[in-house]
């Protein structure tokens, strides 16, 4: 009979401890954070006691608060706290990390979107080889409505910024070398812009209404790119060659992609592009030597002397 009182005492003790845990539950964090322009570690000062924590990202509880490693601008943070006792007290904290939207060079793209040199190299590699792969496999991600010169550039740019996981490889039928992904951000979750990565209005950045998922050849080079030079010696792989033939009323602007030598020992530069509609057809992709353009039709020569060649242009989010 002595067992029953002991059991009751044990149960009462457990209940008391669990109630104490509920009463000790505390979540008090400061959320007054400054806007950020790059991936960085954040610390939420405050106190967390007697709580289980669930989150949509990695975290670390310290005596001074909550540590969040490698937070990106405009990232959505979700935190859920639950007491360890019977009563299950809870608290939810959801917020979006403010992005610094400064546009100091007033090119229309917030400075936080400009990739560093390493990410730019990753972007260029993917951009080029995604385009090369399109010659072999018809990607499901390249819409039929985009089968022209600017649509090809938009497709390569979007896909170069994605995470290239197994699902992406299967969807695209990609047949090329594998590189590291761009680390700063990835499409379609580009900070501030989301899927709307192409600028459609001149001037410094004001808000997201100045961006779109679509841009014609003229709008693309005028707003999403900056002039580099008309001399190929200054160009980098994945720069865009822009031509303007005013006598072609339907398609006066044309874009080609400069590829460089593709790492070949013969130091021969290459170019690829989509022709745009030809006659009743939708056109085709072409892969040609740079020298062929220099020795073909003078109006298509990518040279300083050709008035129809506007020059080499580069996406504004590249350094």
- Dihedral, CA atoms, 184, 189, 191, 193, nearest 10 degrees? 130
CB count within 10 Å of CB 236 equals 14
* 224 DSSP 8-state letter: I
Structure tokens at 283: 């056109």
Q: 202 burial class (0-12, 13-18, 19+ CB within 10 angstroms)?
A: exposed
- Reading the block at residue 247, the tokens are 């006598």
Give me the half-sphere count of Cα atoms (radius 13 Å) on the Cβ side of residue 178.
7
pLDDT tens digit at each of 319 positions of the chain: 566 565 555 555 655 555 555 568 888 999 888 999 888 999 999 999 888 899 999 999 999 999 999 999 999 999 999 887 667 788 999 999 999 999 999 999 999 999 999 999 999 999 999 999 999 888 889 998 899 999 999 999 999 999 999 999 999 999 999 999 999 999 999 999 999 999 999 999 999 999 999 999 999 999 999 999 999 999 999 999 999 999 988 899 999 999 999 877 667 899 999 998 887 778 899 999 999 999 888 999 999 999 999 999 999 999 9
138, 230 contact by CB (below 8 A): no
As a whole number of angstroms, the distance between CA 220 and CA 149 comes to 11
Angstrom distances, CA of residue 10 to CA of 2, 5, 83, 92: 13, 9, 21, 33
> Which residue ranges does the chain devote to CATH 2.60.40?
27-96
CB 51 within 8 A of CB 81: yes
Contact 42, 57 (CB under 8 A): no
Fold of 27-96: Immunoglobulin-like (2.60.40)
């Amino acid at each position: 009979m002595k067992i029953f009182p002991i059991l009751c005492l044990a149960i009462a003790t457990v209940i008391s401890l669990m109630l104490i845990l509920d009463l000790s539950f505390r979540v008090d964090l400061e959320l007054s954070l400054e806007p950020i322009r790059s991936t960085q570690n954040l610390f939420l000062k405050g106190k967390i006691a007697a709580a289980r924590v669930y989150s949509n990202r990695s975290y670390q509880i310290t005596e001074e608060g909550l540590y969040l490693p490698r937070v990106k601008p405009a990232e959505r943070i979700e935190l859920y706290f639950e007491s360890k006792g019977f009563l299950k007290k809870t608290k939810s904290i959801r917020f979006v990390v403010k992005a610094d939207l400064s546009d100091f060079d007033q090119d229309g793209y917030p400075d936080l979107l400009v990739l560093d040199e390493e990410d730019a190299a990753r972007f260029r590699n993917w951009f080029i080889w995604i385009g090369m792969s399109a010659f072999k496999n018809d990607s499901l991600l390249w819409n039929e409505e985009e089968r022209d010169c600017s649509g090809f550039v938009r497709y390569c740019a979007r896909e170069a910024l994605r995470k290239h996981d197994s699902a992406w490889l299967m969807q695209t039928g990609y047949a090329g070398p594998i590189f590291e992904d761009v680390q700063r951000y990835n499409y379609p979750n580009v900070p501030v812009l989301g899927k709307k990565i192409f600028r459609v209005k001149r001037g410094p950045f004001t808000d997201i209404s100045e961006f779109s998922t679509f841009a014609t050849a003229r709008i693309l080079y005028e707003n999403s790119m900056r002039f580099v030079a008309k001399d190929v010696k200054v160009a980098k792989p994945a720069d865009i060659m822009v031509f303007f033939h005013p006598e072609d009323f339907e398609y006066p602007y044309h874009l080609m992609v400069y590829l460089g030598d593709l790492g070949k020992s013969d130091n021969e530069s290459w170019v690829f592009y989509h022709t745009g509609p030809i006659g009743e057809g939708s056109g085709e992709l072409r892969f040609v030597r740079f020298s062929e353009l220099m020795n073909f039709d003078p109006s298509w020569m990518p040279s300083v002397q050709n008035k129809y060649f506007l020059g080499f242009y580069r996406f504004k989010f590249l350094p």
